[in-house]
Amino acid sequence: MRDFLETLQEDAAKDPEQRARELSRRELPKRFYKEATHVAVDGGFAIHLDGRPVKTPGKAALLLPSEALAAAVAAEWQAQQKEINPATMPLTRISNSALDAVSIRFGEVADDITRFAGNDALCYRADDPQSLIDTQRRLWDPVVDWAGGLLGGRFVLIEGVIHAAQPEALLAAYRARLSDLTPMRLAALHTITSLTGSALLGLGLLEDYLDADAAWTAAHVEEDFNIERWGEDAEAALVRAYKRKEFDAAVLILREA
């Protein structure tokens, strides 16, 4: 069996639209139920399809920790049309991953997120043009400074793409903050970190320092700069819209799980 973290990293490296296309090319199961609902049970909230509980691919009960999250997951199932398409069900997919995999490999997933912090996108700065430099400073410096203060140190800023190591004590403090998370919230944080390239933006969302729009804008400084300069590619816009749906699903889980 391939290592779970290897699979996570491969999936994160794929273009989100590519992942959606791969899912849609599979033979999708037909919708067999009339109504999807959420039901309070021992241990949380279950998703029922015409009264029958949904299970994860690993055959565990799909249990959600809050009613708000369960209602949102049930809405994903209710929104399916003639077929059940996992590409359009990010809440369900992240929840399945949390229950089937992250709960078992918690430490490895937390370590993987911490490695992002050691090579965080917000620490790598452009050396020109000045307008991009200024925007990075305006949107990124407050996050980097806040995270450093929270963790008891200072992150190293790098001009260009040559790697520079971050202080080990700082990374250890980051890793320690993940230890008490539930598998559901850790899975959501991993998704956010993979989509944005920034464990610091994920930390900002986790600690309620940032809201979703602020984190999303900060994650796309360079992309937005290029759009302003050269215009927006239609296919790239579709990819970004798909990524935003994944991101919003993960943020909802982070907030409600």
Paired strand residues for 48: 37, 53
Predicted TM-score (pTM) of this structure: 0.89
> At CA 190, angle to CA 215 and CA 217, rounded to 5?
15
Per-residue confidence (pLDDT) for residue 207, from 0 to 100: 97
Q: Which residues contact 77 (CB under 8 A, 6 or more apart)?
A: 33, 36, 47, 49, 54, 84, 89, 92
pLDDT, one tens digit per residue, over 36-64 is 999 999 999 999 999 999 999 999 999 99
Contact status, residue 118 vs residue 147, Cβ threshold 8 Å: no
Estimate to the nearest angstrom the gap between the alpha carbon of 131 and the chain centroid: 29
Domains and their CATH numbers in the chain: 29-84 (3.30.2180.10), 106-256 (1.10.3580.10)
Per-residue confidence (pLDDT) for residue 12, from 0 to 100: 43
Q: Per-block average pLDDT, block size 10, for the chain (257 residues)?
A: 39 52 70 97 97 96 97 98 94 97 97 97 96 98 98 94 91 98 98 97 98 98 95 92 97 96
Tokens of 124: 């790598």
Per-residue confidence (pLDDT) for residue 18, from 0 to 100: 60
